[in-house]
Amino acid sequence: MTKLTLGSHPYLLGFEQLERLLERSAKSGNEGYPPFNIEQTSPNSYRITLAVAGFSEEDLSITVEDRQLVIRGRQADGNAERVFLHRGIAARQFQRSFVLADGVEVGEAIMENGLLHVDLRRIEPEPVVQQVRITKG
């Protein structure tokens, strides 16, 4: 018995890229830092919120790479002379990736009270009906 995958199912044509995206997102690390929320702000918009306390806007970068939203954080060690008796505030670098569907665009990013908000919107394509002519062979 052959195992059917998403890309090889006979009624799903052209979905090989979706299967690759699912595999890529499954392979990305499931570490819990920084914590984040994803909320739907309207039927066609979303907001990703990351808790990035201690990071400034200059410490963060947001890019879209191959339909993948990548948020990176790296804090510069500003004062190497400081001696910590206890260091409980995370100051490590991170990378969070989110796979974006076709038609989802990244809007603005807002830093507010240690939270980074990234707004996304889904552009709804106009429905297209195409008539295909049948010719004699």
Per residue in 90-129, pLDDT tens? 668 999 999 898 899 999 999 999 999 999 999 988 889 9
pLDDT at 39 over 90: yes
* Sheet architecture: strand order including 36-42: 36-42, 45-51, 115-122, 104-112
Q: How confident is the model at residue 29 (pLDDT cuts 50, 70, 90)?
A: low
pTM: 0.72
User: Residue 78: which CATH number?
Assistant: 2.60.40.790
Task: Answer for the pair 121, 107: CB distance below 8 angstroms, yes or no.
Answer: yes
How large a percentage of the chain has pLDDT more than 90? 50
* 8 occurs within a structural domain: no
Domain count, the chain: 1
Please list the residues that pair with 122 across neighbouring strands.
104
For residue 59, give its domain range.
32-122
Dump pLDDT digits (tens) for 44-92.
999 999 999 889 999 999 999 888 999 999 987 666 788 889 877 766 8
* 21 occurs within a structural domain: no
Residues whose CB is less than 8 angstroms from the CB of residue 98 and which lie 6 or more positions away in sequence, other chains included = 48, 68, 69, 71
